[in-house]
């Protein structure tokens, strides 16, 4: 364990994902909105937390790409405007001395049935060859077991998803 600035871990993860965020031939760029609070350094396993950020941000990008593909096919039949592709990252310190990192996307959202199985190993909604179903299970283990924290999800179908990582300060 070592003391680190969580924002540096988020920024380095975003740097790795830069290419996936850029505009593609079939979609506009994904905008990342950062609402960083003033955080103290956190004693943690930084490599493991960066893996959690990578999994959550990668899933957010996947959700937005799914959203753009499904809205393209429905816009062929209707004149519905395209939804803005956005990932919002918010950090804050709670009154009870925890750091919270919230990662939200404006993607397709998840049903309650999917949310119930979200952290189950090998559960995935992605096509064969696209996901292993281990990313969220591993992320949950890292946050809960290694950092005595909580990883929670709030999602509404058609509106998007928000994951909240809460880790106590030591």
Contact 165, 39 (CB under 8 A): no
Q: Which pLDDT tens digit goes with each residue over 65-99?
A: 887 777 665 545 454 456 789 999 999 999 889 99
Sign of the torsion angle spanned by Cα atoms 109, 112, 116, 117: negative
Domains and CATH numbers, the chain: 2-168 (3.30.565.10)
pLDDT under 50: residue ranges of the chain: 75, 77, 79-80
Percent of the chain exceeding pLDDT 90 equals: 74
**Residue in 59, 156, 58, 69 with CA at minimum distance from that of residue 115:** 156
24 CB neighbour count, 10 Å cutoff: 13
- In this prediction, residue 79 carries a pLDDT of 47
- In this prediction, residue 133 carries a pLDDT of 85
Q: Within a 13 Å sphere around the CA of 154, how many CA atoms are in the beta-carbon half?
A: 6
Q: Which pLDDT tens digit goes with each residue over 118-132?
A: 999 988 888 777 878
- In this prediction, residue 24 carries a pLDDT of 86
Q: Within a 13 Å sphere around the CA of 161, how many CA atoms are in the beta-carbon half?
A: 23
- In this prediction, residue 82 carries a pLDDT of 63
Q: H or E stretch including 142?
A: none
DSSP letter at 44?
A: E
């Amino acid at each position: 364990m070592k003391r680190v600035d969580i924002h540096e871990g988020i920024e380095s993860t975003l740097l790795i994902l830069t290419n996936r965020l850029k505009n593609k031939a079939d979609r506009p760029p994904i905008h990342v909105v950062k609402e960083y609070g003033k955080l103290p350094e956190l004693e943690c396993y930084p490599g493991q937390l960066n893996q959690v950020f990578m999994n959550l941000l990668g899933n957010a990008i996947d959700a937005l790409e799914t959203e753009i593909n499904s809205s393209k096919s429905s816009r062929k039949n209707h004149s519905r405007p395209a939804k803005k592709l956005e990932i919002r990252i918010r950090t804050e310190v709670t009154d009870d001395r925890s750091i919270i990192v919230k990662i939200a996307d404006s993607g397709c959202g998840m049903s309650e049935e999917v949310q119930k199985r979200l952290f189950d190993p090998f559960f995935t909604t992605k096509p064969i060859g696209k996901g292993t179903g281990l990313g969220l299970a591993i992320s949950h283990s890292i946050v809960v077991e290694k950092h005595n924290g909580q990883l929670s999800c709030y999602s509404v179908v058609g509106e998007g998803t928000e994951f909240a990582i809460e880790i106590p300060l030591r």
